Chain A
Amino acid sequence: MNRKPKAPRWAQSLLERITAPHLREEIQGDMDELFHKRGQRYGYAKARLLYIVDLLLLLHPRLWRGEPTPQFKPRYSKFTDVPKPFLHPDMIRSYLTIAFRNLVKNKSYSAINIGGLAVGMAVAMLIGLWINDEVSANKHHKNYDTLYQVKMNQTFDGRRGTQDAIPFPLGAELKAKYPDFKATAMCDWGSNRSLVVGNQKFLKDGHYIGQDAIDMFSLQVLNGDKNPLKEPYSIVLTDETAQALFGDQDPIGKTVRMDNTVDLKVTAVVAKQPKNAGLQFDYLVPWHLQAAQRTDYIKRAEANWADNSYQVFAQLRDGITPEKTNAKIKDIVLKHLINDEVTQKSTKPEVFIYPMAKWRLYSEFSEGKNTGGFIKYVRLFGIFGLFILVIACINFMNLSTARSEKRAKEVGVRKAIGSGREQLICQFLSESLLIALMALVLALGLVFIVLPYFNTLTEKQLVLQIGNPLFWGILLIFTLFTGLLAGSYPALYLSSFNPVKILKGGVHVGKNASLPRKILVVVQFTFSIVLMIGTIIIYQQIQHGKNRPVGFNNKGLISVNSSNDLIDHFEPLRAELLASGMVSSICKTNSPPTQIWSSNNGWEWKGSMPNDKSVGFKTIATSYDYTKTIGIKLKEGRDFSRDFSTDSVGVLLNEAAVKRMGLKHPVGELVKWNGSDRIVVGVLPDIMMESPYRAVSPLTVIFEKDWVGTISVRINPNVAPSEAIKRITPIFDKYNPGFPFDYKFADMEYEKKFNYEELIGNLSAIVSLLAIFISCLGLFGLASFMAEQRTKEIGIRKVLGASVTNLWGLLSKDFVQLVILSCLIASPIAWYAMKQWLESYTYKITIGVGVFIVVLILALAITLLTISYQAIKAALLNPVRSLKSE
């Protein structure tokens, strides 16, 4: 037999591969027949080419698709040409119907699944809203990308610090000499000032600010002048303030008296800034109003490059990169200090601009470098949210796979009657998607209910953005993702069963299937336990700070902002307050008892080095009765006294300052401040007026009669504070007519120092409680399933004489092992993470073994409690019943 020419082998095999099985024979035959006919007619080379051309033209779905299922093969009906793939709408409807029936049939299982997922999703949603609020802070400003704050690095006492405080002339100089800057706006630190209209008195928080600020911060002028800070005697109110001061009247052109010293004309009303904005204010007044008000002081400040007392915002021109600008402006302050003292120059001031995008979340600096800031909490809670979601998804997977034995038969039967694997996967995925969707609805409801409380807790104004399509988009993707993630494992796992094996006598899925399930339980509990340990350590750290000796008596101590009237009438005010019997002592200081606003260098002492003059000592300025009013017990010496005229050059030091100066016998020692003598009259203990978690800074309390910011009043301990406040209010009103009587209790102010930590503590406590709750929900489901699975075993054991306790131990053992393992894994992780967290505190706890033991016991107790219900229920079951069948 001569060798017959053949079509190219690759083309033949390709043909074999692409054509549908039921068409393969005839098509291959046709192709061969054509090939030979053409070969004889035109030669085999051309025939080969035509074979390939034909092959390409055969690439049509109709010819590679499988044969339609025989029973559906239509005979000239409207179903002609309608394919029946596994994603056909009819099939999807069928999936959903079956899924729904399954849910209803297993109510407790569905409830655990949907409830657990819903709680997880709700927490993740809340955290998402919270993170979104943090991340989107300041984005409402049109010039978000070009706005900067000018900052300065300076070295004091060997440490490179970063500060927002800059000298007065810097703002004007930047704008005048550097074309990079489109605008600059000087700004003060903002403080409560009294605004009076008629009989209405308010204390409102606002700033002196440069007139460019309106455009720079794209403040929305609702009413009035578009450039409202031009004239010095003008004031810009927020809509909220305008409403408070003027009600529904049009405020433009009306007069507001500020601090009972100056009348200002309202030139504009602007929209109130959102709560997460960096620049907050109730009103704004022109920067140059200060010059008109306090000429001498401002004149001095205007030329002083060594007085860092202000802040400045800057806007770069479009397309200018901050790096280049930074290089240009770096030495601008240093250059101006050329004629200044060596000490000022030795601080090596270095100016740079810091973008608005980083103001909120990256605000911490160490040694002149950015070290992050609040972003670490955003990340932390992002991880928390993810944890919770993962825990909830794991529940789902576990419960679904645990029930696989039950559903194995279903899968077997379905496969036997012709279900494809894709259809089974679709079936399981649609079940999980249905559950996720129901959970989403439930979660939305939960968030809706919980949001007001959450807002109170976090001091935010978060809203469900119902009208925002992006919000829904994210939610939907999030739900799909959750549903698919949660359903993926069961879907792939269950659909892989071999029908023959299942139907022949039940596969023992338990043995093989329980390992991944165990791993998931361990992962889940590891997460929960890490969160628990973290929460306890955060709580301990907060308590540690709270229990720290304060060093002064903050009970019954109030502080009142000073005003010119109060300062001018201090002696009669004091006399009248003491005479009322409501007050035991009163003093004036430059800052309230729970804060120290001032810091001064230029101190010299016996044995100090020239460089020591640049060391900044915290400063409290006061006159008489300071320690008595604040409630401080002196370590040595005495307070300033009216009996000693020399006390006007006296100074009190705290222990940290004594240590820093290295004084052996401080009392009576002569020190110098800016060249003039000061005599140490007493030593204070290290009182806690700043952060409860940091070391107490060296402090000097100086005698300065006229440097007053606050008036502190100690209420007579024999009088109820509310009564005292009621009685002294008219006295303050009498001497301070231009201001409302606004007082603050020192103990409450002190509590505020823990706000931040307490927020973190509360949030993590809630998250970890929920994590445990969700995990236990899953455990509960698993335990019930295990018990159900082992009904027969339990029955036999019971018949043979096992006690309820035995059986309880048998069923609980597995889970207890898993939880102990989780603890072992979680402990080092939590230890490391919390050690990192504690790094940022100087005054901190050491992590003890106790926490880990407590958490282990707690976790075990919770686990046993969860499981016991199911275990005991199973153990109490009458064995006759469980053994009767079969």
Chain B
Amino acid sequence: MKGTQLGEFEELVLLTIALLYDDAYSVAVVEELGQRLERPMSLGAVHRTMQRLEEKGLVNSRFGESTAERGGRRKRLFTVTAAGEQVLQEARRIRNDLWADIPKAAFGGGVA
């Protein structure tokens, strides 16, 4: 996927969407990521990122059902597209390759 630049935060959000599978919507992403990263998430940042991901064609969205706790408003549910999956695989492969190629001595030799 040449030419696809995936920012770090974008990658995290995309992974979270994949993780949440059928219930991936903004608030859920905010909470999940907030817990895992152990820092408060900004709703705006997550929204922006998901929008951008959709424009890049890495996620699809549809409206879910409305709930009372949302004041009767619907949530927008996201799923990772094939292109999104490919981008994630690619990112993972690059990281794995990098990890694999790190010489043992680089981290003080103590790490197996």
Contact = CB atoms under 8 A, between A and B. Distances in A.
A31 B48 contact: no
B41 to A, nearest CB: 10
A801 interface: no
A851 B109 CA distance: 108
B43 A36 contact: no
A75 B74 CA distance: 25
Interface string A62-73: 110000000001
Contacts of B55: 73-74, 80-81
Contacts of B52: 62, 81
Interface string A13-56: 00000000001011111111110110000000000000000100
Contacts of B6: none
A27 B70 CA distance: 10
Given A29-B75, A34-B30, A76-B83, A57 B45 contact: yes
A103 interface: no
A881 interface: no
B48 A30 contact: no
A28 B73 contact: yes
Interface string B12-53: 000000000000011100110000000000111101100110
A58 interface: yes
Given A33-B69, A34-B30, A54-B42, A27 B47 contact: yes
A60 interface: yes
A27 B25 CA distance: 11
A60 B27 CA distance: 18
Nearest to A75: B57
Contacts of A73: 55
A70 to B, nearest CB: 13
Contacts of B57: 75-76
Contacts of A29: 66, 70-71, 73-75
B1 to A, nearest CB: 9
A26 B69 contact: no
Nearest to B30: A34
A23 B75 CA distance: 11
Nearest to A73: B55
B73 A26 contact: yes
Most buried by A among B4, B30, B63, B83: B30
B76 A26 contact: yes
Contacts of B25: 26, 30
B48 A26 contact: no
B74 A60 contact: no
B62 to A, nearest CB: 11
Contact of A63 (B4, B44, B74): B44
B92 interface: no
Contacts of A63: 44, 47-48, 51
A26 B43 contact: no
Nearest to A81: B55
Contact of B43 (A25, A34, A62, A80): A34
Given A26-B74, A32-B69, A32-B70, A80 B56 contact: yes
A348 to B, nearest CB: 82
B43 A30 contact: yes
A74 B57 CA distance: 9
Chain B interface size band reads 20 to 34
A36 B4 CA distance: 38
Contacts of A59: 44
Nearest to B42: A57
A27 to B, nearest CB: 7
Contacts of B45: 57
A81 B66 CA distance: 30
Contacts of A75: 57
Contacts of B4: 76
A30 B26 contact: yes
A34 B31 CA distance: 9
A34 B30 CA distance: 10
Contact of B27 (A25, A34, A74): A34
B69 A31 contact: no
Contacts of A37: 27, 31, 69
A782 B13 CA distance: 65
Nearest to B58: A76
A74 B52 CA distance: 11
Nearest to A68: B55
Nearest to A20: B51
Contacts of B31: 37
A497 to B, nearest CB: 35
A62 B30 CA distance: 18
A34 B27 CA distance: 7
Contacts of B66: 29
Contacts of B83: 76
A584 to B, nearest CB: 104
A25 B30 CA distance: 17
Contacts of B69: 32-33, 36-37
Contacts of A25: 73-74
A118 B30 CA distance: 63
A57 B55 CA distance: 21
Most buried by A among B52, B69, B76: B69
A26 B69 CA distance: 13
26 contacts: A25-B74, A26-B26, A26-B74, A27-B47, A29-B71, A29-B73, A30-B25, A32-B71, A33-B67, A33-B69, A34-B27, A34-B30, A34-B43, A36-B69, A37-B31, A54-B42, A54-B43, A57-B42, A57-B44, A58-B43, A58-B44, A60-B44, A63-B47, A63-B51, A74-B55, A81-B52
Interface of A: 23, 25-34, 36-37, 54, 57-60, 62-63, 73-76, 80-81
Given A58-B47, A76-B83, 17 more contacts: A23-B51, A26-B25, A29-B75, A30-B47, A31-B43, A54-B43, A57-B42, A58-B43, A59-B44, A60-B48, A62-B48, A62-B52, A63-B51, A73-B55, A76-B56, A80-B56, A81-B52
> Which 9 A-B pairs rank lowest in CB-CB distance, beginning with the nearest?
A29-B73, A29-B70, A76-B57, A58-B44, A57-B42, A57-B44, A26-B76, A32-B71, A33-B70
